[in-house]
Amino acid sequence: MSSDSPAIPTAALERAAQLRAELARHNHAYYVLDNPTIPDAEYDKLFRELQALEQAHPALVTSDSPTQRVGGAPLPQFEQVRHSLPMLSINNGFRDDDIVNFDRRVREGLKTDEQAEYHCELKFDGLAINLRYENGLLVNAATRGDGATGENVTSNIRTVRAIPLRLQGDNPPAVIDIRGEVLMFKADFARLNARQRDAGQREFANPRNAAAGSLRQLDPRITAQRSLRFFAYGIGVLEGVELPPSHSALLDWYVQLGIPVAAERRIAHGAEGLLTFYRDIGLRRAQLPYEIDGVVYKVNAVAQQAQLGFVSRAPRFALAHKFPAEEAMTIVQDIGLQVGRTGAMTPVARLAPVLVGGVTVTNATLHNEDEVRRKDIQIGDTVIVRRAGDVIPEVVSFVPELRPADARPFVMPALCPVCGSPIVRPEEEAVARCSGGWVKCPAQRKGGLLHFVSRRAMDIEGLGDQLVDQMVERNVVTTAADLYRLGLGSLATMERMADKSAANVLKAIEKSKSTTLARFVYALGIRHVGESTAKELARHFGGMDALQNADEAQLLDVPDVGPVVARSILQFMADPMNVELIAQLRANGVHWEEGASGARPKPLAGLTFVLTGTLPTLTRDDAAERIEMAGGKVAGSVSKKTSYVVAGSDAGSKLAKAETLGVPVIDEAALLDMLPPSNESES
């Protein structure tokens, strides 16, 4: 900073100071307390604003500015570890432009016009760790801390089973710093939070904070109870062995050393190659068992990495390409109620519109009355909304600092907002319900019908939300049985319904008459009877009459059916209106193939299948259903336990995995040969 630098406007000075203070507060909550109060996207906004201010007025930059530093200070309770080589952050990109610019800067830095070679990997959402091995033995583990000094968490890391205490192979390096991310898988996170809740303890905001909180425990026995994982992605000091020439070779070497490396990684060339990887992973993100917040691109050749070097807090040879944030902040304008098909009252937050995960969200579920109370969400609150993958948006928490004086708690009304029947809540249940039943409550009729026609139930295409709404409102349809009495005349009078689409709907209704018992049972919408229970019931009883006449003991014989489910089925079947509905549906032509009870041949019992690619005639769901009907299991990913991989066209990584594991790969024809002959019509 020189004295002749241009004067900085007071407003900029003040704003910068304000931003720095605010960011410092959030850094403390995030890095030290593992308990952030605002979503990352909000933090990033503040961070970028400060960056922009500092860029416009370079004299504003102070050495302690959050833009110049990494992470947060180490906790004093831990012994401090000075990193031999600093542990840095990575620069972020969000838009395609940012990636194109990164690629251009890389080529400029390398002084070449040739396409650059990159290693593409995932950006794991956990915390960075440095593992030091000496002569193959784990001697120290340290968190990133402020990048220069981290916390010694060796005894905690020793409890993480994914991290080997000794490297594989005969010639381990004298010294190696293996760097990577400690993280918690989604399923383990859900289990941990359920346990915390039951124990009346603080829940973690997300898997990242849970991983950090679990690792930075003073008592390693607590860490040992938390399922932590590890993926390696980098290196610090290396002595006694030559560094592999590329990043991909380094990770290959790690695999040989017995260090976990995520399978999703790839070499790509040029900006186009990077963007293709980004889109690919984006499509699979929700299916990954752990959270990622983006992907990372690294120039692959180590010599080129050295040529490009570092800026203050990050390398020039790497870029994190972030996904649209799955969490955002907005205001709860009201809390309404949605009435489900069983009368369940779901409180729904009406939100000031906000962009989450690339989609504008105006409603988010609050799940049930108890959840609203537990999370203490009030009308007027500023809340964090989360929308991950296809999951419906939910309210995660509120921001205490931003609660207005006139915030109002939610009160469950006494009467159903749709039909005016009393709302009841049995003591042992979490859910309040409208007591009107579908006879009195149009909301329940609509919900029931939508469930009946849904893809996994009777699969009637073209009968969407709005059409069902109209049919119920105009009393054209009261029960599912009425659907099979619809004529072109009554359908064509519905709004926005051309003759042609009316004819298509009728065709779809007609087609749905030929179904399976499992689908029919599921479609009835019996409480607690989901798709898999319906399948078990169909398999066990073989026919509808047997199921309708089953007593409690017989029901309890069915795998998957416990006392609660059995009672719910008995109640449903004892209701004369339901008996009448089933009879009418059958009288109107709904039919399925009945089998002898439990006697269906199960030639695939004990076998596990994985489906991949597009099969020539069967849809994935059909194929899975046929396999399950024949006693087989269908799994989502290939492992040594997989019996067969059924591959169609455009089969991807699962096929490759099957080949490396030596799992037999068959086509649809071979699968059909293994199945018992079917009388069910396919089309």
Q: Which positions touch Zn ion (CB under 5 A)?
A: 416, 418-419, 421, 434, 436, 441
- The answer to the question of residue 26 lying near ligand NAD (CB under 6 A) is yes
Q: Looking at beta carbons, which pairs linking 352-355 to residues 24 or more positions away fall under 8 Å?
A: 354/328, 354/329, 354/330, 354/385, 355/324, 355/328
- Stretch touching ligand NAD by CB under 6 A, among 36-44, 484-492, 493-501, 517-525: 36-44
Binders of ligand NAD in range 564-603 (CB under 6 A): none
Using CB distances below 5 to 8 A depending on partner kind, what does residue 253 bind out of Zn ion, ligand NAD, none? Answer: none
Q: Reply yes or no on whether 507 is catalytic.
A: no
Tokens of 30: 């995030």
Q: Which is nearer to Zn ion, 169 or 420 (CB)?
A: 420
Kindly report the three-state secondary structure assignment for every residue of 42-77: HHHHHHHHHHHHHHHCHHHCCCCCHHHCCCCCCCCC
Amino acid of residue 394: E
- Stretch touching ligand NAD by CB under 6 A, among 27-35, 278-286, 369-377, 613-621: 27-35
- The answer to the question of residue 668 lying near ligand NAD (CB under 6 A) is no
Using CB distances below 5 to 8 A depending on partner kind, what does residue 410 bind out of ligand NAD, Zn ion, none? Answer: none
Q: Which is nearer to Zn ion, 345 or 550 (CB)?
A: 345
- The answer to the question of residue 90 lying near ligand NAD (CB under 6 A) is yes
In the complex, least distance from residue 429 CB atom to ligand NAD, rounded to whole angstroms = 36
In the complex, least distance from residue 233 CB atom to ligand NAD, rounded to whole angstroms = 4
575 and 648 Cβ atoms separated by less than 8 Å = no
Residue ranges for the known binding site are 40-44, 89-90, 121, 144, 181, 298, 322, 416, 419, 441
How, if at all, do strands 127-134 and 318-322 pair? unpaired
- The answer to the question of residue 27 lying near ligand NAD (CB under 6 A) is yes
- The answer to the question of residue 89 lying near ligand NAD (CB under 6 A) is yes
Tokens of 202: 């603080």
- The answer to the question of residue 36 lying near ligand NAD (CB under 6 A) is yes
For the chain, what percentages of helix, strand and coil (3-state, to nearest 5) are there?
Answer: 40, 20, 40
Amino acid of residue 261: V
> Which position among 103, 121, 177, 668 is part of the footprint of ligand NAD (CB under 6 A)?
121
> Which position among 34, 40, 188, 536 is part of the footprint of ligand NAD (CB under 6 A)?
40
In the complex, least distance from residue 99 CB atom to ligand NAD, rounded to whole angstroms = 16
Using CB distances below 5 to 8 A depending on partner kind, what does residue 233 bind out of Zn ion, ligand NAD, none? Answer: ligand NAD
Residues 189, 54: Cα–Cα separation, whole Å = 38
Q: Which is nearer to ligand NAD, 89 or 501 (CB)?
A: 89
In the complex, least distance from residue 450 CB atom to Zn ion, rounded to whole angstroms = 16
- The answer to the question of residue 438 lying near ligand NAD (CB under 6 A) is no
Q: Which is nearer to ligand NAD, 30 or 572 (CB)?
A: 30
The dihedral over CA atoms of 577, 578, 580, 582, expressed in degrees to the nearest 10, equals 160
Residue ranges for the known binding site for NAD(+) are 40-44, 89-90, 121, 144, 181, 298, 322
CB atoms within 10 A of CB 98: 15
> Which position among 15, 33, 44, 154 is part of the footprint of ligand NAD (CB under 6 A)?
44
By CB under 6 A, the count of residues binding ligand NAD is 25
- Pick the catalytic residue: 45, 123, 186, 602? 123
Using CB distances below 5 to 8 A depending on partner kind, what does residue 418 bind out of Zn ion, ligand NAD, none? Answer: Zn ion
Residue ranges for the known binding site for Zn(2+) are 416, 419, 441
First-to-last C-alpha distance (Å) of the chain: 76
658 and 650 Cβ atoms separated by less than 8 Å = no
Sign of CA dihedral 343, 349, 354, 357: negative
Length of the chain: 683
339 and 443 Cβ atoms separated by less than 8 Å = yes
Residues 396, 328: Cα–Cα separation, whole Å = 10
Q: Which is nearer to ligand NAD, 38 or 364 (CB)?
A: 38
Beta-strand runs (E) in 207-254? 229-239
Q: Which is nearer to ligand NAD, 281 or 529 (CB)?
A: 281
Secondary structure (3-state) at 230: strand
DSSP state of 610: E
- Stretch touching ligand NAD by CB under 6 A, among 117-125, 235-243, 358-366, 609-617: 117-125
Tokens of 601: 């041949």
Using CB distances below 5 to 8 A depending on partner kind, what does residue 188 bind out of Zn ion, ligand NAD, none? Answer: none
Amino acid of residue 416: C
CB atoms within 10 A of CB 67: 20
Using CB distances below 5 to 8 A depending on partner kind, what does residue 332 bind out of ligand NAD, Zn ion, none? Answer: none
Q: Which is nearer to ligand NAD, 318 or 458 (CB)?
A: 318
Residues 38, 48: Cα–Cα separation, whole Å = 15
- The answer to the question of residue 320 lying near ligand NAD (CB under 6 A) is yes
342 and 444 Cβ atoms separated by less than 8 Å = yes
Question: Which of 200, 302, 194 shows the shortest CA–CA distance to 244?
Answer: 302
> Which position among 20, 83, 123, 132 is part of the footprint of ligand NAD (CB under 6 A)?
123
In the complex, least distance from residue 260 CB atom to ligand NAD, rounded to whole angstroms = 13
Using CB distances below 5 to 8 A depending on partner kind, what does residue 416 bind out of ligand NAD, Zn ion, none? Answer: Zn ion
Q: Which is nearer to ligand NAD, 89 or 597 (CB)?
A: 89
The pattern of x and - marking residues 228 through 247 that bind ligand NAD according to CB under 6 A reads -----xx-------------
In the complex, least distance from residue 342 CB atom to Zn ion, rounded to whole angstroms = 11
313 and 89 Cβ atoms separated by less than 8 Å = yes
**Residue 26 phi/psi, 5° resolution?**
-70, -35
Residues 562, 555: Cα–Cα separation, whole Å = 8
401 and 414 Cβ atoms separated by less than 8 Å = no
Q: Which is nearer to Zn ion, 66 or 436 (CB)?
A: 436
Residues 356, 17: Cα–Cα separation, whole Å = 29
> Which position among 102, 124, 253, 254 is part of the footprint of ligand NAD (CB under 6 A)?
124
Q: Count the alpha carbons within 13 Å of 54 in the hemisphere toward its beta carbon.
A: 20
**Residue 607 phi/psi, 5° resolution?**
-100, 145
Binders of ligand NAD in range 327-366 (CB under 6 A): none
Q: Which helix (H) or strand (E) holds 291?
A: none
- Stretch touching ligand NAD by CB under 6 A, among 35-43, 100-108, 470-478, 526-534: 35-43
Using CB distances below 5 to 8 A depending on partner kind, what does residue 436 bind out of ligand NAD, Zn ion, none? Answer: Zn ion
In the complex, least distance from residue 258 CB atom to ligand NAD, rounded to whole angstroms = 19
Q: Which is nearer to ligand NAD, 60 or 261 (CB)?
A: 261
How, if at all, do strands 591-592 and 514-515 pair? parallel
By the 10 Å C-beta count (0-12 exposed, 13-18 middle, 19+ buried), 575 is classed as exposed
Residues 627, 475: Cα–Cα separation, whole Å = 41
Q: Which is nearer to ligand NAD, 127 or 468 (CB)?
A: 127
- The answer to the question of residue 43 lying near ligand NAD (CB under 6 A) is yes
Amino acid of residue 414: A
> Which position among 144, 285, 446, 539 is part of the footprint of ligand NAD (CB under 6 A)?
144
Using CB under 6 A, list all residues that contact ligand NAD.
Answer: 26-27, 29-30, 36, 38, 40, 43-44, 70-71, 89-90, 121-124, 127-128, 144, 181, 233-234, 296, 320
Q: Which residues are catalytic?
A: 123
